């Protein structure tokens, strides 16, 4: 008679943490300044203000918005501020950066909201493989967040981990 199957991973007491779960479900869109520039290179204040005044800002309702310029133009700071002033009544949140940078900033913000005390004296595995790409900055942030309270931090999957930190 064969021995019963024992799931050693489940019995190990490891807590698996998938950073992808902290990426909000809200749609992330970008506002590219380039189309609102003269010859897509020069910001003329009067024309810029006029072009912003005809935008239907409701299209950004409850979305996470990244502001950036896809051309190598000099954008005065007030131009970004003017865009934010128009977006604020509608957007869920606003960041400076392209889609990837915005996604990274949102994730970092969500990691800062994690209650680290829920992981006190635990052995935590930060999931390393997944369908959603997670940038290096998120792994740095979660390590800094958890290290003061956890027993250990590992990277990977519960069945195959790389030790990162162990409390002494």
CB 156 within 8 A of CB 124: no
Q: Is 103 among the domain residues?
A: no
Helices assigned H by DSSP within the chain: 8-11, 45-53, 77-87, 99-112, 136-146
Contacts of 119 (CB under 8 A, 6+ apart): 15, 17, 146, 149, 150
What would the pLDDT profile of 45-84 be if each residue is shown by its tens digit? 999 999 999 999 999 999 999 999 999 999 999 999 999 9
Q: What is the pTM of this model?
A: 0.81
Quick one: pLDDT at residue 108?
96
Q: Is residue 1 pLDDT above 90, yes or no?
A: no
pLDDT(158) > 50 = yes
Question: Is residue 17 one of the residues assigned to a domain?
Answer: yes
pLDDT at 133 over 70: yes
| In-domain check, residue 45 | yes
Rounded to 5 degrees, what are φ and ψ at 126? Answer: -85, 115
Looking at the fold, whether 33 and 76 belong to one and the same domain comes out as yes
Asked if 69 and 17 sit in the same domain, the reply is: no
Regarding whether 161 and 127 lie in a shared domain, the answer is yes
Q: Is residue 101 part of a domain?
A: no
104-118 pLDDT per residue, tens? 999 999 999 999 999
SS3 content of the chain, % helix, strand, coil (to 5): 40, 25, 40
> pLDDT exceeding 70 applies to what percent of the chain?
93
Q: Are residues 35 and 18 in the same domain?
A: no
Inside any domain, residue 105:
no
Nearest-angstrom CA–CA distance, 162 and 168: 17
By residue count, the chain amounts to 168
For residues 16 and 34, state if they share a domain.
no
Indicate whether 55 and 82 sit together in one domain.
yes
In a domain, 158, yes or no: yes
Higher pLDDT, 129 or 135: 135
pLDDT band at 13 (very low <50, low <70, confident <90, very high): confident
Secondary structure of residue 81 in the 3-state scheme? helix
Range of the domain at 67: 28-91
Residue 96 lies in a domain: no
| Residue 107 in domain | no
Which residues partner with 163 through β-bridges? 154
Burial of 158 (0-12, 13-18, 19+ CB in 10 A): middle
Domain count across the chain: 2
Burial class (CB in 10 A: 0-12, 13-18, 19+), 50: exposed
């Amino acid at each position: 008679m064969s021995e019963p199957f024992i799931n050693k991973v489940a019995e190990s007491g490891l807590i698996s943490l998938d950073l992808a779960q902290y990426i909000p479900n809200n749609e992330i869109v970008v506002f590219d300044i380039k189309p609102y520039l003269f010859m897509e290179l020069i910001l003329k204040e009067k024309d810029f203000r006029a072009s912003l005044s005809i935008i239907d800002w409701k299209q950004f309702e409850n979305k996470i918005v990244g502001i950036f310029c896809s051309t190598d133009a000099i954008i005065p700071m007030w131009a970004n501020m003017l865009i934010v002033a128009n977006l604020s009544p509608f957007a869920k949140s606003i960041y400076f950066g392209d889609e990837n940078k915005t996604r990274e900033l949102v994730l970092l913000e969500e990691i800062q909201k994690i209650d680290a005390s829920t992981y006190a004296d635990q052995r935590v595995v930060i999931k390393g493989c997944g369908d959603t790409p997670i940038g290096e900055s998120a792994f740095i942030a979660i390590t800094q967040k958890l290290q003061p309270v956890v027993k250990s931090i590992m990277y990977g999957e519960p069945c195959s981990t790389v030790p990162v930190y162990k409390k002494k």
